[in-house]
Amino acid sequence: MVAPILIDAITYSCLYILLSLGLTLTYMTTRVPNFAHASFAIIGSYITWTWVTSRIVSSIENAIEQGLDPREINVLIREFTLQPADYIAVLVLSFVVVGLVGLAQYLLVLKPLSNRGSTLIGLMIATIAVDMLIFSFINIYADYAQAYYNGVLKELSEKAGYKIPLLVKTRDFTLYAYDRLKGLNVQGSLVLLPSLVLGLLAVLQVLLTKTKIGIALRASVENPMLAEVAGVNVNRVYALAWFVSAGLAGCAGALVPLRLFTNPALGHTLIVSIFAASIVGGLNVIYGAFLGGLLVGMSETLIMNFLTLHLGLNAGYRPMIPLLIMAVMLLLLPEGIGGYEWSKFKKRVKAS
Amino acid sequence: MEQVQEKGESVMIGELFGGGVSQFVLDIIALFSIYSIVVLSLNLEAGYTGIPNFGKLLGVAVGAFTVSALSGRLAILFHNLENPSSPITYKDYVQESAKLVFEVNKWLAENPLMAILLLFLTLAIAALAGGAIGYLASYPAIRLRGDYLAITLLAMAEAVRVIGYNYPPIAGGTLGMQVPNPFAAVGENRYAAVTAFLALMVLVTYVLYSKMLCSPLGRVLRATRDNELSAESLGKDVVSYRKKVIVIGTATAAVAGALYAYYTGGVIATAYHRVAWTFWPWVMLMLGGMANNLGALVGTFIFVVMRYSIIRYKTVFEGILPFNVVWLDYMLLGIALLVVLMLRPQGVLPEKPVRTVKKTFYDADRRYKIETS
Amino acid sequence: MLEVSSVSAGYGKLQVLFDVSATFPSGKITVVVGPNGSGKSTLLKTIYGLTRIYKGKIEFEGQDITKIQPHQKVAKGIVYLPQTDNVFDNLTVNENLRIAGYTLPKEELEERVERALEIFPILRGYMKRKAKHLSGGEKQMLAIAMALIKKPKLIMLDEPTAALAPKVAYQIINVIERLKNELGLTIVLVEQNAKVALKIGDKAILMVGGRVLYEGSPERLLRDPEFGPTYLGLRGATER
């Protein structure tokens, strides 16, 4: 049995890595920190919520049609777990849907503004604006979905003749209970999160060095004009980068409700940690996200645990930890661990 | 303004009093005043000095928390100094705050001079605290590029909010707490008095800021904003100016926050969030025109009226909209920001760029273009 | 042949070129010299399309190319090598070469890379090394190699030997000559180091203050008693 604190640490580290990757990637292309990035993830969370809820509701519906009695229906509800197909479905759906949202942000908001000569502040504000819009839409959906599904359940209750013991809520919810890989006594999300991270590490390595588009991306972020001259359609490359980044955020968000209590505002809480992770790793270094996410995720969880246990500190102070890490990083090494010219450091050490 | 708590409900100040046009007008003036002070400080930082302050909330929160943490306690101290024979005592200020504030208000009603002293003393302390914390918070990133500074300030503001929410002695933690009423002596017309005072404060701020910005300091700041490299080459220490400006700006915002706390009569940490106190001020500033104090006031007025009207007449909107009015606020913010960015070039967008050179990267010029064709 | 006719151009409102006319014969090296700030670099950038052209015309092989976009000019066979930032520092030499031929089909790309390596065999040993770890001269060679992959007809080089040690600069100049001789390229070479450049030039253009003061034979420019000392730091008639 793995210590719960370690599980927490792994969870947050993986989430931060996935989210920081996207943030760093979009930063490298447009040089703008995307304040909407964490809210991208929450869209994925609600996609998962919708998928799971509709699955449960339709299985209840089937059960009623088949004439199962209340006791059996209750068992059905209690024993409901996610199948591998469910995980795949929410991941793919989230990737695509949120990817499109990110693509839209790039093509419809950032690129046009940039073409008009917007300043950095203007572009940053644009990302905040998009964040506000996404936030409002998520909230509106949350209100609607909760009412809708509870309404459906009410109807089903009437049909079944008894009150179905299920009340769905879209705020402060978690799908933790459903996250059990059938047969094995392990949570699907705990398997998926590290797998995604490791898988990405491998895929990125191949993508960025062995494929044409990967090299084109590296060239574009380094010197867009030169890349343009070389024949690269830099705009298309950037658009792809935004699609993938947002998609990754969506995947991370899709798994969030399986591990944490989820709210539409969760993105606003996470964004600070994600910025910290990206800054620690280096905003200009794609692999920095892995390091930064790991460091911040681990530190946050372990330090908070220590403080709560030994100093009785309230868990609400948790956001201070990534903030302090970020502040220290900016004072000592603003370009991040990944951004620092270690070769120069080595030379200095050798010389002395 | 409205206080959006985490569950998405809103407590609207205006609804606390039956209503009527005069109350509506008073509320608008009060909110306009408070927001104007915030926006003027933001204008100094962002409009004149080019500091992307996405942590404007920090100053406001510090000011409000200063009032909630100190005002009552100070009042009790003064009371006890004046009446050593019958002191107000307490064991846990936060727990007993409602009762204590009630006692304090009684005393303040009879001692208007002490009330005025309390008011100005706490405002001064708020300003000092704001300046100091603003300096500390910006320190890690003050020498760094705009995007790092923006992220840092945003994060620091969140930190202040987190502390205020989790450390009960400051602002009553999750439940909030009440704040003494320095205008207790005025009795019934309290809101009119407060509003008049607020209007006065805006005027003072505006005049002070205008003087400050018409001075050589103002010119230096504008040079700094437009081209850091050439400003530096002229021997001006850009970083030190940034620091000074942040201190002044945060102190000003703290005064606004303190005023807001007194105006609403209570403080709850969740009411001080970046949407209300960072992002809305940004839109107000952008609409009115950066580096233009009068324009800033115009922008503030427009949005204050718009938002307050929506909140006040919530029921009307509820009929029209297929969703909760509260979300309209966020949607409007996003739309307003985008509209202003797309349509109003002053300050946020530079003048029309050169035609054939459309696709190049002016680093020193601080114009960031997404490099594609 | 490249022909610039009465071109006035600049950056935004800042005019740098004043009624500049010049021709650059095919298959020859035309060297553009002049003091700092005379508009030499701007001339190249203008031909390539990176500045604002107030008036005038630029023709290449009979076609009016004044208004077309930079990457379209690449398609027409015009390549511009800026003074700095002409390679991708964080990409390996191999990756740099491949990006240069991004739009080419695989076989063609292989062929052109191979050809480029024949001209710059030194790069073979560095294929897996990141460009930022190359020396100044090696980087320039990589930049020129990348330009060659585009199979240009005209190469414009902006001070390729700046910041290079004399021996390395000499190597680069030799390479440029080989490009003309072996590949028949038309070359426009902007140079600070007038002496060296004029030695390999077939034609010389002297620019001062955004205007063309001289267009003709390099030897005569080298020996000119007025232009040489005044603008090029040469000793004029006494130059051997």
Mean pLDDT of chain C: 87
Judged by CB atoms closer than 8 Å, whether chains meet at C85 and A226 is answered as: yes
C216 vs B254, which has greater pLDDT?
Answer: B254
CB proximity B294 to A under 8 Å: no
Percent of chain B surpassing pLDDT 70: 83
pLDDT band for position C166 (cuts 50, 70, 90)? confident
CB proximity B364 to C under 8 Å: no
Segment C167-173 shows an average pLDDT of 87
Residue C180 scores a pLDDT above 70:
yes
Using beta carbons and an 8 Å cutoff, which residues of C are at the interface with A? 70-71, 74, 80, 85-91, 95, 98-103, 146
Residue B3 scores a pLDDT above 50:
no
Stated length of chain A? 352
Beta bridge partners, C23, equal C3
Long-range contacts of B75-81 (CB under 8 A, 24+ apart): B75/B104, B75/B107, B75/B108, B75/B114, B75/B118, B75/B180, B76/B100, B76/B104, B78/B114, B78/B117, B78/B118, B79/B104, B79/B107
The first and second tokens of residue B244, run together, are: 């000074």
pLDDT band for position A187 (cuts 50, 70, 90)? confident
**Mean pLDDT lowest for which of A154-158, B19-23, C130-134?**
B19-23
Residue C234 scores a pLDDT above 70:
no
Residue B350 scores a pLDDT above 60:
no
CATH placement of domain C2-227: 3.40.50.300
Q: Which residues of A touch B360 (CB under 8 A)?
A: 225
B237 neighbors B133 (Cβ within 8 angstroms): no
pLDDT in tens, A190-233: 889 999 999 999 999 999 999 999 999 999 999 988 888 888 88
Q: Which residues of B touch A112 (CB under 8 A)?
A: 342
Q: Which residues of A touch C88 (CB under 8 A)?
A: 218-219, 222-223, 226-227
CA distance A52 to B353: 51
Nearest chain A residue to C73, by CA: A229
Given its phi and psi angles, is residue B347 left (phi above 0), alpha (psi -120 to 50 degrees) or beta? left
Mutate to test the interface with C, among A208, A212, A229, A344 (most CBs of C within 10 A): A229
Domains in chain A: boundaries: 22-265
Residue B354 scores a pLDDT above 60:
no
CA–centroid distance for C51 within its chain: 16
Judged by CB atoms closer than 8 Å, whether chains meet at B355 and C52 is answered as: yes
- Residue B345 has what pLDDT? 55
* Torsion sign, CA atoms C229, C234, C237, C238: positive
Q: Which residues of A touch B52 (CB under 8 A)?
A: 120-121, 124
In chain A, positions 27-56, which contact chain B (CB-CB < 8 Å)?
29-33, 35
| Strand C186-190 to C29-33 pairing | parallel
**Mean pLDDT lowest for which of A24-33, A233-242, B231-240, C121-130?**
B231-240
- Residue A123 has what pLDDT? 93
In sequence order, the 6+-apart residues with CB closer than 8 A to the CB of C188 are C2, C24, C30, C32, C44, C47, C154, C155, C156, C157
What kind and span of H or E run contains B328? helix B325-343
Judged by CB atoms closer than 8 Å, whether chains meet at A275 and B372 is answered as: no
Residue C115 scores a pLDDT above 80:
yes
Provide the shortest C-alpha distance from residue A186 to chain B (in Å).
32
Residue A69 scores a pLDDT above 80:
yes
Domains in chain C: boundaries: 2-227
* Residue A133 burial by Cβ neighbours in a 10 Å radius (0-12, 13-18, 19+): buried
Residue B366 scores a pLDDT above 50:
no
In sequence order, the 6+-apart residues with CB closer than 8 A to the CB of B263 are B30, B34, B194, B198
pLDDT in tens, C57-111: 999 998 899 988 877 888 888 998 988 889 999 999 999 999 998 888 989 999 9
Judged by CB atoms closer than 8 Å, whether chains meet at C86 and A215 is answered as: no
CA–centroid distance for A299 within its chain: 19
Mutate to test the interface with C, among B357, B362, B369 (most CBs of C within 10 A): B357
pLDDT band for position B4 (cuts 50, 70, 90)? very low
- Residue B14 has what pLDDT? 41
The interface predicted TM-score of the complex, written ipTM, equals 0.90
Residue B11 scores a pLDDT above 60:
no
pLDDT band for position A351 (cuts 50, 70, 90)? low
Nearest chain C residue to B362, by CA: C11
End-to-end Cα distance, chain B: 45
pLDDT band for position A350 (cuts 50, 70, 90)? low
- Residue A49 has what pLDDT? 96
Segment C197-220 shows an average pLDDT of 87
CB proximity A97 to B under 8 Å: no
Residue C3 scores a pLDDT above 50:
yes
Provide the shortest C-alpha distance from residue B349 to chain C (in Å).
17
Provide the shortest C-alpha distance from residue A215 to chain C (in Å).
7
CB proximity C11 to B under 8 Å: yes
Residue B356 scores a pLDDT above 60:
no
C89: nearest CB among A209, A215, A222: A222
The three-state DSSP-derived secondary structure of chain A is: CCCHHHHHHHHHHHHHHHHHHHHHHHHHHHCCCCCCHHHHHHHHHHHHHHHHHHHHHHHHHHHHHCCCCHHHHHHHHHHCCCCHHHHHHHHHHHHHHHHHHHHHHHHHHHHHHHHCCCEHHHHHHHHHHHHHHHHHHHHHHHHHHHHHHHHHHHHHHHHHCCCCCCCCCCCCECCHHHCCCCCCCCCHHHHHHHHHHHHHHHHHHHHHHHCHHHHHHHHHHHCHHHHHHHCCCHHHHHHHHHHHHHHHHHHHHHHHHHCCCECCCHHHHHHHHHHHHHHHHCCCCCCHHHHHHHHHHHHHHHHHHHHHHHHCCCHHHCCHHHHHHHHHHHHHCCCCCCCCCHHHHHHHHHHC
- Binding partners of A (≥3 Cβ pairs within 8 A): B, C
CB proximity B320 to C under 8 Å: no
Residue B148 scores a pLDDT above 70:
yes
- Residue B230 has what pLDDT? 61
CA distance C161 to B68: 68
C78 neighbors C63 (Cβ within 8 angstroms): no
Judged by CB atoms closer than 8 Å, whether chains meet at A216 and C102 is answered as: yes
* Torsion sign, CA atoms B277, B279, B282, B286: negative
pLDDT band for position B346 (cuts 50, 70, 90)? low
Nearest chain C residue to B356, by CA: C52
pLDDT in tens, B45-76: 998 888 999 999 999 999 999 999 999 899 98
Nearest chain A residue to C146, by CA: A230
Nearest chain A residue to B279, by CA: A128
pLDDT in tens, B166-214: 999 998 888 889 999 988 888 777 888 888 889 889 988 888 888 887 7
Judged by CB atoms closer than 8 Å, whether chains meet at A117 and B334 is answered as: no
Mean pLDDT of chain B: 82
CB proximity A117 to C under 8 Å: no
**Mean pLDDT lowest for which of A19-28, A277-286, A335-344, C5-14?**
A335-344
In sequence order, the 6+-apart residues with CB closer than 8 A to the CB of C71 are A228, A229, A231, B373
Judged by CB atoms closer than 8 Å, whether chains meet at A223 and C85 is answered as: yes
Provide the shortest C-alpha distance from residue A220 to chain C (in Å).
9
**Mean pLDDT lowest for which of A116-125, A133-142, B40-49, B223-232?**
B223-232
Q: Which residues of C touch B373 (CB under 8 A)?
A: 69, 71
CA distance A230 to A221: 14
CB proximity B358 to C under 8 Å: no
- Residue B361 has what pLDDT? 33
The first and second tokens of residue B285, run together, are: 């500033």
**CATH says B3-372 is which class?**
mainly alpha
pLDDT in tens, C34-60: 888 888 989 998 998 888 889 999 999
Transcribe C31-100 into DSSP letters: EEE-STTSSHHHHHHHHHT-SEEEEEEEEETTEE-TTS-HHHHHHTTEEEE-SSS-S-TTSBHHHHHHHH
B116 vs B13, which has greater pLDDT?
Answer: B116
Residue A245 scores a pLDDT above 80:
yes
Provide the shortest C-alpha distance from residue A128 to chain C (in Å).
31
CB proximity A158 to C under 8 Å: no
Judged by CB atoms closer than 8 Å, whether chains meet at C52 and B373 is answered as: no
Domains in chain B: boundaries: 3-372
Segment A165-178 shows an average pLDDT of 91
Provide the shortest C-alpha distance from residue A223 to chain C (in Å).
7
Judged by CB atoms closer than 8 Å, whether chains meet at A231 and C98 is answered as: no
CB proximity A279 to B under 8 Å: yes
Residue B227 scores a pLDDT above 80:
no
